[in-house]
């Protein structure tokens, strides 16, 4: 890792859960006129976007997060509910929400912010709004509430969160690719 890399911290999902999310996404695509859809392998929950990091910063991040995560206990999340962020003509971000041990998730997010601030990664100004992005700039053939009703209820395999990951984010042949650089086990 000679140069800086674009990176973020996040929670990954099992292949089974990614398949379930993908199935929902494919169903939603059937009601969309256009949009940019996330690739199946890119489904994740972002804990903190770091922007550009250096090799020296990665070593500091590794040390800080290994220390933090050893003190944290694993927890459970459920994927639940669809929502959108912004946009008048289109859904700026179409997302899947979360339920389960949300207090544990919010606490972990806050502690990650606290340990990374001294390393030059200030806390996000916006409130933490945990979600899984399904697509961006989506234009549906109908109102969002109407599409939600058509898609109906859906259930996902519960997710047991035992680690968080440092991901590298890069553009490869016009596609966004996320690669795990490190993982930090909880407990």
CATH of the domain at 104: 3.90.1140.10
Mean pLDDT of the chain: 93
Would you state the pLDDT for residue 88?
65
Number of neighbours of residue 8 by Cβ within 10 angstroms: 18
Q: How confident is the model at residue 175 (pLDDT cuts 50, 70, 90)?
A: confident
Instruction: Read off the pLDDT of residues 18-71 as tens digits, 9 standing for 90 and up.
Output: 999 999 999 999 999 999 999 999 999 999 999 999 989 999 999 999 999 999
Given 44, 109, 160, 165, the catalytic residue: 44
Would you state the pLDDT for residue 74?
98
Tell me if residue 86 falls in helix, strand or coil.
coil
Would you state the pLDDT for residue 2?
52
Q: Return d(Cα 156, Cα 178) in angstroms, integer.
A: 23
Would you state the pLDDT for residue 176?
86
Taking residues 103-117, report their average pLDDT: 97
Given 109, 131, 160, 165, the catalytic residue: 131
Q: How many structural domains does the chain have?
A: 1
In this prediction, what percent of the chain has a pLDDT beyond 90? 79
Would you state the pLDDT for residue 1?
44
Asked about 131 being catalytic, the answer comes back as yes
Tell me if residue 181 falls in helix, strand or coil.
strand
Asked about 160 being catalytic, the answer comes back as no
Taking residues 72-100, report their average pLDDT: 90
Q: Return d(Cα 184, Cα 187) in angstroms, integer.
A: 10
**55 contacts 1 by C-beta, under 8 angstroms:** yes
- The boundaries of the domain holding residue 52 are 5-185
């Amino acid at each position: 890792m000679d140069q800086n890399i674009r990176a973020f911290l996040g929670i990954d999902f099992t292949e089974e859960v990614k398949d379930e999310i993908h199935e929902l996404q494919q169903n939603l695509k059937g009601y969309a006129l256009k949009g940019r859809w996330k690739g199946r392998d890119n489904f994740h929950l972002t804990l903190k976007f770091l922007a550009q990091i250096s090799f020296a910063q990665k070593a500091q991040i590794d040390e800080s997060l290994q220390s933090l995560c050893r003190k944290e206990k694993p927890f459970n999340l459920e994927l639940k509910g669809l929502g959108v962020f912004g946009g008048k003509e289109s859904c700026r971000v179409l997302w899947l929400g979360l339920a389960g041990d949300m207090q544990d998730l919010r606490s972990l997010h806050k502690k990650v912010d606290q340990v990374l601030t001294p390393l030059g990664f200030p806390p996000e100004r916006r409130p933490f709004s945990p979600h899984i992005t399904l697509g961006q700039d989506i234009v549906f053939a109908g109102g969002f509430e109407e599409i939600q009703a058509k898609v109906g209820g859906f259930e996902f395999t519960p997710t047991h969160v035992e680690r968080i990951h440092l991901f590298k984010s890069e553009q490869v042949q016009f596609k966004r690719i996320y690669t795990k650089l490190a993982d930090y086990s909880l407990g």
